[in-house]
C-alpha cells in the first residue's frame, strides 16, 4: 500500500507563525503548511518570536519554509550572492527552530554571466550551507524554475548537473512545482508525459523528492511563463493531479498549493486535491 500524501498550502502568518499560520491552516482544511519566516521580497533577517516558534514546533504539523524570492546563488552580483548566503543560512536556522522539514530555495539564474561560472558558485557557496545543517535540521529543497531567461535548472534533466555541482549532498532535496515543470516543457496533461517526468525524476534523484508545489498553469506547456492558476482552472486541468498522486515517486510526498486567491479559493483547491487523492 502506498503512503498517503498530506495536502496543504502556503499559509498567511499574520498575527504570528503559530497563531496566524495554524488558524489559516484550519480555515482552508490543510494537512501541512508552508510559510515565509522573513519578508518574501526583501533581504531583512527577521528574528521572529520565540513563543510562536515553539508553538509551531510543538504543534507537530508538517511545516516547510520558503526563502525570499530574491535569493540567487547563480548571480554575478557580489551583493546578491552575499545576501543569498546570509538569508539561506538565517532561514535554515529559523526552520530548525520551528521544526520545519525543509527549506525551499529557487534554483536561480546565471543572469548575465556564463552558466559554468554560475554553477561553480553553487559549489563554492551553496554546498557549504548544506554542510552546516545539523542533524534534525531541515533539508534544502531545490525548486526548478519555469525556464525563463538564464535559469540554471528548469527541466527534470537539469536536476542532474545541479546536484552534481553540490556533490550530490544528502541534504539537497527537490521541490517540484507542477506549473514550473509544465512551463519548462514537461507535458503533464499527457499520461505518458506525466509518467516519464516522474520516472525520470525518480531515476536521476531517487529519494530526493520531498515536496510538491501543486499549481495549475495559466499558460501553455513549454511557455516558460511562471503564472499559477487554481487547480483545474488552468491548462494542466485536474486529472493530471490525480495521476501524479498515483505515481510511486510521489508516495508520501507532501503536496502544497501556491494558487491565486484567498481562503475560499485555497479551501476549494485543497478539497479538490483531497478528493482526487482519495478517489472521489
Residue 219 is labelled as binding a ligand = no
Beta bridge partners of 255: 7, 212
Residues whose CB is less than 8 angstroms from the CB of residue 20 and which lie 6 or more positions away in sequence, other chains included:
11, 12, 13, 14
Nearest to 50 by CA among 108, 94, 82, 13: 94
Are 4 and 252 in contact, with CB atoms under 8 Å apart? yes
Residue 180 is labelled as binding a ligand = yes
What 8-state DSSP symbol labels residue 250? G
Are 271 and 1 in contact, with CB atoms under 8 Å apart? no
Nearest to 214 by CA among 248, 243, 173: 243
DSSP output for 179-195: HHHHHTT--TTSHHHHH
Residue 213 is labelled as binding a ligand = yes
Residue 169 is labelled as binding a ligand = no
* CA distance to 238, 262, 275, 276, per residue, from 268 (Å): 12, 10, 11, 12
Cell numbers 520565540: residue: 50
Q: Return d(Cα 231, Cα 241) in angstroms, integer.
A: 9
Q: Does residue 36 sit in helix, strand or coil?
A: coil
C-alpha cell at 223: 511557455
Q: Return d(Cα 38, Cα 44) in angstroms, integer.
A: 7
Residue 271 is labelled as binding a ligand = no
Could you tell me which residues are annotated as the binding site for Zn(2+)? Answer: 66, 106, 143, 177, 180, 213, 226, 228, 258
Could you tell me which residues are annotated as the binding site? Answer: 66, 106, 143, 177, 180, 213, 226, 228, 258
Amino acid at each position: 500500500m502506498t503512503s498517503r500524501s498530506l495536502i496543504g498550502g502556503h499559509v498567511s502568518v499574520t498575527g504570528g507563525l503559530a497563531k496566524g499560520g495554524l488558524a489559516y491552516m484550519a480555515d482552508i482544511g490543510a494537512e501541512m503548511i508552508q510559510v515565509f519566516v522573513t519578508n518574501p521580497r526583501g533581504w531583512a533577517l527577521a528574528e521572529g518570536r520565540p513563543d510562536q516558534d515553539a508553538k509551531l514546533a510543538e504543534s507537530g504539523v508538517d511545516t516547510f519554509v520558503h526563502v525570499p524570492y530574491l535569493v540567487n546563488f547563480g548571480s554575478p552580483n557580489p551583493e546578491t550572492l552575499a545576501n543569498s548566503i546570509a538569508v539561506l543560512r538565517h532561514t535554515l536556522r529559523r526552520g530548525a527552530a520551528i521544526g520545519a522539514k525543509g527549506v525551499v530555495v529557487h534554483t536561480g539564474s546565471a543572469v548575465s554571466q556564463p552558466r559554468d561560472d554560475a554553477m561553480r558558485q553553487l559549489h563554492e557557496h551553496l554546498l557549504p550551507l548544506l554542510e552546516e545543517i545539523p542533524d534534525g535540521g531541515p533539508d534544502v529543497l531545490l525548486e526548478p524554475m519555469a525556464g525563463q531567461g538564464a535559469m540554471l535548472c528548469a527541466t527534470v534533466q537539469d536536476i542532474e548537473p545541479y546536484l552534481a555541482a553540490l556533490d550530490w549532498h544528502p541534504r539537497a532535496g527537490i521541490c517540484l512545482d507542477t506549473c514550473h515543470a509544465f512551463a519548462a516543457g514537461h507535458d503533464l496533461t499527457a499520461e505518458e508525459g506525466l509518467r516519464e517526468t516522474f520516472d525520470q525524476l525518480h531515476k536521476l534523484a531517487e529519494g530526493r523528492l520531498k515536496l510538491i508545489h501543486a499549481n495549475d498553469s495559466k499558460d501553455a506547456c513549454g511557455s516558460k511563463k511562471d503564472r499559477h492558476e487554481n487547480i483545474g482552472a488552468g491548462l494542466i486541468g485536474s486529472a493530471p493531479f490525480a495521476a501524479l498522486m498515483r505515481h510511486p515517486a510521489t508516495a508520501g510526498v507532501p503536496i502544497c498549493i501556491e494558487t491565486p486567491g484567498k481562503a475560499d479559493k485555497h479551501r476549494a483547491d485543497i478539497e479538490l486535491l483531497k478528493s482526487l487523492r482519495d478517489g472521489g
